[in-house]
């Protein structure tokens, strides 16, 4: 592994965030904002950093995962930003992620239900409710980012192993999140 990859791994390990969500807040949600250290981690991938400007109240940016190796098995360079809202009345929290990759994307199979999304920065896309990965019914948007990328998408509960013990937000809230990615 190259020295720069070791540095990114060390930075990621030192800045992973966990904790309890703060009190409900008005938009924008301050618990969901990137810290300077987190922004530095994301920029280390060499990708343009895209984040949602709208995150539902009560959610916080819980974890960032970075893939800084160009020859990875899927996609190349990328990151996953996981947003979480703790649910004290259930064994499962609410969560979703914004995922970015430099390439290696494919078409998304159609879901049981699709929601049209109009993102001012990346254009029209869809948010699908369907069976993806290990999840029985989850939300997953089509990749956004033009012809050459980088590419960005919304991933709901169960799409990624880091989201395996979560519940989805409502499709209406997910559409708002996707529309706000900049």
pLDDT in tens, 142-152: 999 988 889 99
Residue 14 has phi, psi (to 5 degrees) of -85, -15
Residue 32 has phi, psi (to 5 degrees) of -100, 5
Number of domains within the chain: 1
Closest CA to 42 of 117, 98, 106, 103: 98
pTM for the full model?
0.79
Residues of the chain above pLDDT 70, percent: 76
pLDDT per position as a tens digit, 93-108? 999 999 999 887 777 6
Residue-range definition of the domain harbouring residue 106: 3-18+27-179
pLDDT per position as a tens digit, 79-95? 999 999 988 777 789 99
Q: What are the beta bridge partners of residue 65?
A: 80
Cα–Cα distance between 114 and 33 in angstroms, integer? Answer: 28
Residue for token digits 């979703």?
A: 96
Q: Are 178 and 141 in contact (CB under 8 A)?
A: yes
């Amino acid at each position: 592994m190259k020295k720069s990859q070791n540095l990114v791994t060390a930075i990621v390990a030192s800045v992973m965030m966990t904790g309890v969500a703060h009190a409900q807040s008005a938009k924008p949600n301050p618990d969901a904002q990137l810290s300077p250290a987190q922004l530095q981690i994301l920029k280390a991938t060499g990708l343009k950093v895209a984040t949602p400007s709208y995150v539902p109240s009560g959610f916080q940016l819980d974890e960032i995962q970075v893939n800084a190796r160009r020859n990875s098995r899927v996609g190349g360079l990328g990151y996953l930003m996981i947003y979480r809202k703790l649910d004290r009345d259930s064994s499962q929290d609410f969560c979703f992620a914004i995922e970015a990759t430099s390439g290696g994307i494919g078409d998304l199979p159609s879901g049981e239900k699709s929601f049209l999304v109009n993102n001012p920065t990346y254009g029209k896309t869809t948010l699908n409710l369907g069976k993806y990965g290990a999840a029985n019914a989850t939300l997953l948007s089509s990749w956004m980012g033009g012809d050459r990328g980088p590419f960005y998408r919304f991933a709901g509960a169960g799409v990624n192993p880091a989201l395996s013990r979560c519940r989805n937000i409502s499709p209406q809230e997910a559409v708002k999140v996707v529309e706000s990615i900049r």
